[in-house]
Structures are given as C-alpha cells and as structure tokens.
A = this chain, B = another copy of it.
Amino acid sequence: MGSGKKEQEKNSQKYFYKMELKTKVGLLQLKIHKNKDLNIKKAVNKIRYAAKKGAKIVCTSELFLFEYFCKTENHSNFKYAEKIPGAITNLFCKLTKELNIILIISLFEKKIAGQYYNTCIIINDKGKIISKYRKMHIPDDPGYYEKFYFTPGDLGFKNTKTRYGEIGTLICWDQWFPEAARLTALKGSEIIFFPTAIGWHPKEKKKYGKTQLDSWITIQKSHAIANGIFVVAVNRVGYEKKGNRKIEFWGHSLVIDPNGKIIAKLKSKEEGVLVCDIDFKKVDSARQHWPFLRDRRIDAYKSLIRNSKND
C-alpha cells in the first residue's frame, strides 16, 4: 500500500500528540540584584536546573534583568531597554536549543526611540522566538510608575502553539482583568503564564498585606475557574529600595489547575525553582463539567468594549 508510510506518520503524530498531553513547567522565583550580569548568570543557572528536573516550559518573573526600576520616574532608566531580537534574546535562544525547552522571558523592550514596552517572548526548543506579547494593561500606582515607561501593548492577546501545549502569556497587572484571561483562553490557550513583579509597601504590609495577597491569589484562581485553564504566576522575591520607595516583593509563585486548585507554590521569602507536572486532560475535563464557555452570551456582551453607562 502506497499510503503505508503516510499512515505510519499520521499514527506516530497521533501518538506524539497524545504523549504531549502531559508536560512539566518550571518557575524561577528569584531575588533580583543591581548587577544585570549577575541576574543573567543566576537565571541561566536556574533554567538549567529546571530543565534538569524535567521542566519543558520555563518562565521567569517580570523584568527579571533589573531591580524594579518603575519604583521611580527616571529618564535614565530607559537605557535599560533591549532590542528584540538582540544580544539578550540571542543568549537565551542558544540556551533553549541546548536544553531542548520552551522559555518565556520578560524584557524591557525598545521598539523605536520613544516607544518602550513591557514585553514577554516565547522561545521554542529550536532556539527560535515564536511569540511576542506586549503588556496590554499598564498600572500606575505609587511605586509602580509603569505608565511613565511603557506604551500599552499593541499586539493584542496571544496564544502560541508549542509541542508542549498551547501557551498564553500575560504580564502582572493583566492579572486583574478577567477580559485578558478570557480572550487568551478563547484563542485556544490551555495554560497562561504571568511573569509578575508585585509586592508590599512595607508601611502598608501590616494593615493591608494579607488582604492584598489574598486578592492576588483569588483573582488568579478565578481565571482558572472561569476559563477551565491552568494559571502560572511567577513573581520575584526580596526587598528593593530606591530613595523613599521600598517594595518587598511577595513571591508566592504558583500553579493553579483548571478547577482553581493550587497544585504547587513557593513562599513569600523563598528564592527557588518550582517544577510542576501539568496534565492538559484536566482542561477538557474541567470545561466539560463546568461548561461556561458553552453558555457565554456573546449577543449581549457588546458593552464590554465601552467604559461605562454608554448604552
């Protein structure tokens, strides 16, 4: 039969696809130092470690190359921005090819003079950049002056097919917007990664710290539940100070399954690499048992593209 080889290929693809319904993710929860080269070196080491532990998709925290410079508004910080592709991405592309993993890294991107983005990219196991996402929702809060630095994302919401799953990427503040998770899920993602940089103002921690952290965990669980999707948040740890601005980054990197259960997490002060098994069959199962995507009223959601009271 002439089609024997084709059929064999088809079958092996099927088997291949089946095999990849399970994967392992790796989360890098690190303290970030003033020295960029040290941050790179540390990240590379930890990525190697995660790969050794079997992680196939590894993700850094937000803007992991620098102390969180948005604590103040300072024009000299623009010099930290990178071109994509550029020297930094070349380095990590080489690494993923060597380790045979997918890597999600978060960078301060210079697009052109005067347009800077809070960007994350996905590099595949062949060392190729296969996705770029620019943070869509930009915060501006005392100590988080991101609207000064970043143009709001202009690439929309993203899903990226990889051999280890369909991956969505969102960044930090996006976490608080159900729209972002929903749109990413609707594009086909079965797991969303959130590189993150969030912490306590030391002055507020005693009074509001617990509520703030609880809210942060709750909102991410809710995306998992509402969309029947895995949610991964990767935060930094450590105490950073610039002038009067101090932030204690609260760690708590975590993996949530499509039923809203935390299946792996780190603590608030712990540097570490978290490697966690992902079984994508749970996405199908969650969405069959909680069929919310079936029942959306797309005929009645028009006003979601308005601000308020406009209809």
Contacts and interface: CB of A to CB of B under 8 A. Distances in A.
A169 to B, nearest CB: 15
Contacts of A301: 179, 183, 304-305
Nearest to A302: B305
Interface in A186-235: 186-188, 211, 214-215, 218-219, 221-222, 225-226
Interface string A270-311: 000000000000000000001111011111111111111100
Interface stretch (A19-27, A63-71, A100-108, A136-144): A136-144
A164 interface: no
A292 B222 contact: no
Contacts of A300: 136, 153, 156-157, 183
Contacts of A136: 297, 300
A229 to B, nearest CB: 12
Interface of A: 136-139, 141, 152-153, 156-157, 173, 176-179, 182-183, 186-188, 211, 214-215, 218-219, 221-222, 225-226, 259-261, 290-293, 295-309
Taken together, the copies of this chain in the complex come to: 2
B260 A290 contact: no
Contact of A297 (B152, B182, B299, B308): B152
